[in-house]
Structures are given as C-alpha cells and as structure tokens.
Structure 1
C-alpha cells in the first residue's frame, strides 16, 4: 500500500472516531441549572448533610453551599462530571475579590487548586468570601 493512501486512511479513521465521540455526547459539558440541581448533586455524595444556603455562580459552573459550623460545600462542573467537596477556611490558601462579583480562590489541596468564580450579585460573593477567607477566621493559639 502506498504511503499517501495509508495517511488518508489514518486521518479519516481518526476524524470519524472524533466525530462519533462528539455526536454521541462525549464532548458535552454539564451545568448546574439552579440551586436545586446543586443541592441534588451535593446530596448524592453527602446524603447526611443539609445545606442552609446555596450560592450559584453566574454561568452555572459551580455552587457553594453553606453547611454551618465553618464548613462550605462545593459543587463544581468538570467536563461532563461534578466535583464535590467540603472545605473550611483552613483549606484555603488565598481568597480575594477580583471584581465586585468575581471571587478568586486558591486551595492548599493539589488535586483541586480552585479558580475564579463569577456570581450574579455582590451579596453572594461577600457571603462565600466571608465563609472561606482564611484571614477572617480567628488566629489559632499555638501550644507553648
């Protein structure tokens, strides 16, 4: 078989495989439609917890759930799946406002570094920042 024919066959095969994955839903991204969807998704992994308030990002890519006792639940879209975590201010390396409605979070956990989260209103941003900002928490007393 000649090299040009082989190249055409390989390129065609790869193109067909990529197209098949795309058209069968393999490239679809998930989205949190509303607060109820975020609650339902969080409950799958943490059925015993009952969040008080849900703060959904503007694009539906993440939700922060107030769990009380200094804990915050997180549901974040990653491709067509969801990452769910429970975090505390001790897990946060840096929390800062980028704009009035945009929060930047960097976590200490190397498996999930955080990101930039845009909210629809400034009150939601302030509530999430207040619950996760390590600077707003009381300093720990060191044992002497």
Structure 2
C-alpha cells in the first residue's frame, strides 16, 4: 500500500471517530438548570454542608454558594460532568471585578486555576467577590 493511501485511510478513520464521539454526546457541555440543580450536585459530594445562598453565572456553567465559616462552595461543569469544591480565603491568590458583573478569580490549586465568571446581575458578582476575597490583601504578594 502506498504512503498517500495509508495517510488518507488514517485521516478518514480519525475523522470518523471524532464525528462519532460528537454525535453520541461526547462534546456536549452540561449546564446547571438552576439553584436547586447546583445545590443537588454540591450536596452529593458535601451532604453535611449548610448552604446559605446559591448564585449562578449567566452561562449556567458555574454556581457559587455561601457556606458557614467564611467558606464558599463551587459547582462547575467540565464537559458533561460537574466539579464541586469548597474554597477558603487562603485558597485564593487574587480576586477582582473585571467588569461590573464579571469576577476574575485565581486559586492556588494547580488543578483548577480559576477563571472569569460572568453574572447576569452585578450584585451577584459583588456578593461572590466579597464571599471569596482575600482575608488579607498582603496574601496576593506571597504568590
């Protein structure tokens, strides 16, 4: 078999695999259907945590939850799965309002560095920022 024919077969085979994964739902991004859905996902991993307030991002891919003890719960979609975690102020490297309704957060955890989170309401963005912001401004200089 000639090299060009072999290359063509490999390219077509890989393309068919990618198309099959896409059409069977492999490239689908999950979304949160609302605060109750976010709370359900969070409480699957942290059933003993009392959640005071749930705030969803505008794209419904992330939810921030106010917890007792100055901690925040987060539910975020990754592909068709959900990641849940609890963060405390020492886990935060930096947090700021990038725009009136967009919070930019960097975490110390190398497995999830953070990101930019857009909210439909600027009040939600401010509340999330206040809940997760640094305990001491000098901490940002340690990173």
- After TM superposition, the score normalised by the length of structure 2 is 0.90
Within 5 Å, give how 1:68-107 maps onto structure 2. 68-107=68-107
Superposed displacement of residue 123, structure 1: 1.3
Q: Is the contact made by 2:95 and 2:105 (CA closer than 8 Å) also made in structure 1?
A: yes
Unaligned 5+ segments in structure 2 are 139-143
Separation in structure 2 between the aligned mates of residue 95 and residue 2 of structure 1, nearest angstrom = 57
User: SS at the partner of 2:51?
Assistant: coil
Local SS of the residue matching 2:43: helix
Greater mean alpha carbon deviation, residues 21-30 or residues 1-10: 1-10
The number of residues matched between the two structures is 138
Query: Following superposition of structure 1 onto structure 2, how do residues 55-74 of structure 1 map, counting pairs within 5 Å?
Result: 55-74=55-74
Pairing 1:11–2:45 present: no
SS of aligned partner of 2:28: coil
Q: Report which stretch shifted further, 7-16 or 109-118.
A: 7-16
Q: What is the RMSD of the two structures over their aligned residues, measured on CA atoms? A: 1.6
Greater radius of gyration (CA): 1
Partner of 1:110: 110
* Unaligned runs of at least 5 residues, structure 1: 140-144
- Provide the C-alpha distance between the structure 2 equivalents of 1:121 and 1:102, rounded to a whole number of angstroms: 9
**Deviation for aligned residue 1:81:** 1.3
Q: Deviations over 1:14-53 (max 9, x none)?
A: 1111111111111111111211110011011111113111
Q: For residue 138 of structure 1, report the CA deviation from its aligned partner.
A: 9.6
1:125 to 2:125 alignment: yes
SS of 1:66's equivalent in the other structure is strand
What is the rounded CA distance, in whole Å, between the counterparts of 1:112 and 1:6 in structure 2? 40
Aligned mates of 2:57, 2:46 — CA distance in 1: 21
